[in-house]
Structure 1
Amino acid sequence: MPLSDAQSSAIAHVKGAADDLSQGCATIFSYGETAWREYRSVAWYVDRLRAEGFDVEEGSGGMPTAFCAQWANGDGPVVGMYAEYDAVPANCQAADVMRAPRAGLDYAAGGHTDPHSALGMAGLGGLLATRAAMEKHGIKGGLRFTGEPAEKLRGSKPIHAAKGYYDGLAGILSFHPFYMLPMCNTVRWDTHCGAAYAMIYRFICDTPEGWGAQGVSDARHGGDAPIPQSHSDVRAPGANDALVMMYHSARFLRDAMLSHQGGWSISESILSTGQATADNLPATLADIQYMMRVPTIAMAERVTAQLDALAESAAAATGCRVERHWVSKSRHGLANHAMAGLVWEQIQKVGAPVWGAAAKDIMRQVQESCGVAPMDDPILPACEALIDPQEAEAILRRDLPPSQLNSTSDDYTDMTWHAPTARFYIARPALRGGPYPAWAMNALGGIPATIDPMVQVAAQVLALSALRLLEDVEARTAAMDEFQRRKAEGDTPPLCDYDPPIDFKWPEYVQTPRGFGWHIPTG
């Protein structure tokens, strides 16, 4: 099917906005703000969208760094797109051809890895191009654009889903930079991402005097110790000991929690509570977070039950009590072939990204910095080629058991239960050879010459796909009919029954008398 007039206008708009999108991408990359603390990033988007005439709700879903922007050109179908903008701790890389942190920071600070800085800017580019084409060609309908913080924690989308932000949409377009083969310049077909649960176990030692031998008179020392938990008294192990017991017990039992089938994983992280100067007093508070990625909700529930039991045991043994706080409960994805086919048509119209001589020269410089002999053509061939979704599906299925319906994890899946959704991937720059250190990919995701081709292609695909949904009632109806049929076969309501977990000790940038910096003082 040839481009419509509106689609041609949208492509021209994206190309005309290339410098603007490049500058925005570099700005968000420079912020490098991590989950739940994306303050400057969200302010940038909110200000920009309001300047463009969108009605913007700040703090959507009770999340301070989320938003929901809407615009309408009269009554009609509404299409959803979104931005992500959270970075990752300990990945502070400058947009440079050598390993270097961003100015004034240490490597421990946040930095963009996927990169969400470019994901969000592609979303904005596609959104504004769609709006411009709708206005120029009199296309009725609307656009909804959500700001999605804490994607690395599967944070915002389960909450937005439960609160109705994806309801009533004719379709949702979910783009992500390529991160694994064969999912490069293609669309997911049947095997969508699986479920993900994340929780924090908080151990609290608020009554250490009730543990062990406290309160028992000792005549040899003249009766009870004058200070509870004194140096000579039996002392509650405290929250740190509970956390360590939980950490080791969960690792010992990991192989028993689920069978070696289904592509599941569980990882943990310890959230700092700043007790390094507490001397020899028992730690009063310790947090440990678990994130599991599993094909099914039932698997997540089974692992959660075992972690709950371990947490209670560790708390009892160390004079603590334990609280479980949800960070995420994200569902597995729902396929939609009509939507996938629609987006695949638009990808074929736009084509794969192409990197010119200047970009490839930068890639060779990065190779040299990594100790790899520079190559004539340094880019991974798959980055400049398309792969049919069903061919990609067949490759993906080779390493999966037939009974496993979902693989890997990303919280776009919560969107798939509220509207017809397509998940597609456009290549970010990846180097031949290797292995390369993480900074190399991070740097290429921030250097304008190397990341802009992906932003341009993804923005064009988003705009063309949105306009096809808005202009083609048959395509829109087919996607909605399939969505309703698949949802009826296995309806999974929102799992979110918790408040946004915004008040934990998430890493962030701070302003102190020492200046602006990461929460860990720079060396």
Structure 2
Amino acid sequence: MPAPLYEAKNTAFRWIEENADWLSEFDLEIWRYAEPAWREYKSARAYVELLRRHNFDIEVGSGGMPTAFVASWGTGRPVLGAYAEYDAVPGNSQEPVPYRKPREGMHPWAAGHTDPHSMLGVAALSGVLAAKYAMEKHGLRATLRFFGEPAEKVCGSKPVHAAKGYYDGFDAFIAYHPSYYPKGTNTVAWETHCGSYWSCVFTFECVEPERWIDRSLFPDVGGTHAAARCPGAIDALCLMYTMTKYTKEAMFPHTGSWSLNEFILVGGDATADNLPPRFAQIQYAWRSPTLGIQEQIYRVLVNNAKRAAEATGCRASVRWVTKTRVGLPNLTVSRVAYDNLELVGPPRYSEAARAFAREIQRNLGLEPMEDPFIDDVERVIPPEEYESKFRLALPEWQRNFTSDDYVEYTWHAPTVRLYTARPRLRPPTPDYAYPAWADNALGGRPEIVDPGMFVAGKVIAATILDLVTYPALLEQAWVEFRERTGGGIGGQHWVAPLLPADFAPPIDLRWPEYITTVRGEEWWIPTPNLDAYHLL
């Protein structure tokens, strides 16, 4: 490594080490906010205020999304991008303690961080800030852009940013995610990247219930409450739900690791009166390795919605939440990042981290283990080894697996997908599954999160500095990009954003959120009086 680049990387590494305390506290701040998709108001504001203090220019509310932002620093080429995510997951409220304890004063099924995205965002933030300060000190020129990407759990913001042109004109992107996958905790994705995720909301409205029955048949014209009412929106939703369960078997063969999930946003908006519920909404989200499979699943869903509406005196409409493409590999930038991961080395975990993990095991009635974490959390794993293990369960034809909306970046510039460890507990037997609260509690402990977070920050910073210093690396990455897309942006095999440029982000839907009432701050389901509940 040439001396100037060596010094620049050392400057970046020292910056992270010297600023680790407040970066760690910022991670905990985001973790404690635990704000769900499209409602990350405090988290986004905290990032924006911090980045402004570090002299970034900020566009707040980018793409028409109130909790999204784009932060820019520097001038000229190359233009390099990274991002933060910060949404939490409903139903995962947990204090950072070694036993199950949802947050006090909140509904027990409020949101909490699972992956955790708090670690994801602060790792990327650390890397971008460290690279910025190293570039200033060593006279390096480039443009750094840092995106605030809300609603990743519904793959919400990146397809919107892509459709509206925010990813155009970049030279490379760095995507990061904490990893607890046993076959590859500290590595980079290689040929197999994430697949596609689509989601939409079907709305059922009972607009003209009076047309359901011939009123002349009533024995008493005024006896509406004694008559058969129009089934209405709840019945439409229930029919949609059950028909989709029945027809799921016929959507696609049981291959390719596809999945379909649903969530009821609005359940009828009516009391138990003899009046038809007028309005109901159900969200479907499905993921698969190809866009063709995605289209096939959608065709079945649309048919089910039409039939459910017809049978219940309703009208049906659809509102798209998101559509992602599949991931496009770029081994050139992936190799650059992996080389920097080897340079930095794997995370190391203290006895304090292991002691906390053992306490969870003890509280679950397990024998505490000398090493309570899964294998390989302290080992850098070559990407070829990771790829080989990762593909053991996949059919040969399948090139993409699971989903994440970082894939949107991959079609606009060469992109690396970096992983560093977020330790998971070692199971005592192969069939044992730890409860979700245990993993969630680990994500709120600095002694467990910080090692992998700061390794990732250093790797991101070093990778940025390599791409700034060596134009030939970027040119090689773009040669590969053009080969894979059949000519680059707009090429024969290039896939354009799947959402239209005028797409309206679904920020107005009834997503779970924290609200303020006369009772104080609550989850959208009011804080319960647990003494009034009796287990059956």
**TM-superposition CA deviations, 1:340-359 (whole Å, max 9, x none):** 11111011111111111111
Instruction: Rate the CA distance shift 1:276–1:206 in 2: closer, same or farther, 3 A.
Output: closer
Aligned to 2:40: 38
Range moving further from structure 2, 374-383 or 295-304: 374-383
- CA deviation after TM superposition for structure 1 residue 179, in Å: 3.8
Give the one of 375, 391, 394 matched to 2:388.
394
- CA deviation after TM superposition for structure 1 residue 130, in Å: 0.7
Aligned to 2:243: 249
**TM-superposition CA deviations, 1:280-301 (whole Å, max 9, x none):** 3211111111111101111101
Q: Does 1:192 align with 2:186?
A: no
**TM-superposition CA deviations, 1:434-482 (whole Å, max 9, x none):** 4210011111111111111121111111111111111111111111221
Aligned to 2:208: 207
- CA deviation after TM superposition for structure 1 residue 426, in Å: 0.6
Q: Which amino acid aligns with 2:494?
A: D
Aligned to 2:478: 480
State the distance in 2 between where 1:202 and 1:274 align.
11
State the distance in 1 between where 2:16 and 2:108 align.
34
- CA deviation after TM superposition for structure 1 residue 490, in Å: 1.3
Aligned to 2:58: 56
Q: Does 1:355 align with 2:357?
A: no
- CA deviation after TM superposition for structure 1 residue 45, in Å: 0.6
- What are the ranges of 5 or more consecutive residues in structure 2 without an aligned counterpart? 487-491, 529-536
Q: 2:325, 2:408 within 8 Å by CA — same for their partners in 1?
A: yes
State the distance in 2 between where 1:431 and 1:263 align.
25
Aligned to 2:489: none
The 3-state SS of whatever aligns with 2:95 is: coil
TM-score (norm 2): 0.94
- CA deviation after TM superposition for structure 1 residue 368, in Å: 1.4
Instruction: Rate the CA distance shift 1:93–1:276 in 2: closer, same or farther, 3 A.
Output: farther
State the distance in 2 between where 1:162 and 1:233 align.
50
State the distance in 1 between where 2:42 and 2:275 align.
38
- CA deviation after TM superposition for structure 1 residue 232, in Å: 1.4
Q: 2:361, 2:367 within 8 Å by CA — same for their partners in 1?
A: yes
Give the one of 406, 414, 427 matched to 1:412.
406
Q: 2:182, 2:374 within 8 Å by CA — same for their partners in 1?
A: no
State the distance in 1 between where 2:457 and 2:41 align.
24
The 3-state SS of whatever aligns with 2:393 is: coil
Alignment of 1:165-314 (within 5 A): 165-211=166-212, 213-218=213-218, 220-221=219-220, 224-225=221-222, 230-273=224-267, 275=269, 277=271, 279-314=273-308
Q: 2:180, 2:424 within 8 Å by CA — same for their partners in 1?
A: no
Instruction: Rate the CA distance shift 1:98–1:152 in 2: closer, same or farther, 3 A.
Output: same
Q: Which amino acid aligns with 2:16?
A: V
- CA deviation after TM superposition for structure 1 residue 273, in Å: 4.7
Q: Does 1:495 align with 2:498?
A: yes
Q: 1:214, 1:233 within 8 Å by CA — same for their partners in 2?
A: no
The 3-state SS of whatever aligns with 1:98 is: coil
- CA deviation after TM superposition for structure 1 residue 102, in Å: 2.0
State the distance in 1 between where 2:464 and 2:270 align.
52
Range moving further from structure 2, 412-421 or 371-380: 371-380
Alignment of 1:73-84 (within 5 A): 74-84=75-85
Aligned to 2:105: 104
Instruction: Rate the CA distance shift 1:225–1:70 in 2: closer, same or farther, 3 A.
Output: same
**TM-superposition CA deviations, 1:310-364 (whole Å, max 9, x none):** 0000000001101100011000010101011111101111111111111111111
- CA deviation after TM superposition for structure 1 residue 217, in Å: 4.7
- CA deviation after TM superposition for structure 1 residue 278, in Å: 5.2
Q: Which amino acid aligns with 1:151?
A: E
The 3-state SS of whatever aligns with 2:263 is: strand
Q: Which amino acid aligns with 1:494?
A: P
The 3-state SS of whatever aligns with 1:272 is: strand
Aligned to 2:24: 22
Q: Which amino acid aligns with 1:402?
A: E
- CA deviation after TM superposition for structure 1 residue 485, in Å: 2.1
The 3-state SS of whatever aligns with 1:35 is: coil
Q: 1:225, 1:233 within 8 Å by CA — same for their partners in 2?
A: no
- CA deviation after TM superposition for structure 1 residue 274, in Å: 6.8
Instruction: Rate the CA distance shift 1:475–1:436 in 2: closer, same or farther, 3 A.
Output: same
Aligned to 2:516: 511
Q: Which amino acid aligns with 1:215?
A: R
Q: 2:269, 2:280 within 8 Å by CA — same for their partners in 1?
A: no
State the distance in 2 between where 1:383 and 1:113 align.
18
Give the one of 68, 71, 80 matched to 2:70.
68
Alignment of 1:460-471 (within 5 A): 460-471=458-469
Range moving further from structure 2, 474-483 or 415-424: 474-483
Q: RMSD over aligned Cα, in angstroms?
A: 1.4
Q: Which amino acid aligns with 2:185?
A: C
- What are the ranges of 5 or more consecutive residues in structure 1 without an aligned counterpart? none
Aligned to 1:426: 420
State the distance in 2 between where 1:332 and 1:179 align.
22
Q: 1:214, 1:234 within 8 Å by CA — same for their partners in 2?
A: no
State the distance in 2 between where 1:273 and 1:501 align.
18
State the distance in 1 between where 2:35 and 2:306 align.
34
Structure 1's consecutive aligned runs of 4 or more residues displaced over 6 angstroms after TM superposition are none
Q: 1:62, 1:500 within 8 Å by CA — same for their partners in 2?
A: yes
Question: What is the total number of aligned residue pairs between the two structures?
Answer: 515
TM-score (norm 1): 0.96
Q: 1:79, 1:172 within 8 Å by CA — same for their partners in 2?
A: yes
**TM-superposition CA deviations, 1:373-430 (whole Å, max 9, x none):** 1111111122111211111111112211111111111111011000110011111021
State the distance in 1 between where 2:267 and 2:249 align.
30
State the distance in 2 between where 1:254 and 1:179 align.
30
State the distance in 2 between where 1:475 and 1:324 align.
45
Aligned to 1:126: 127
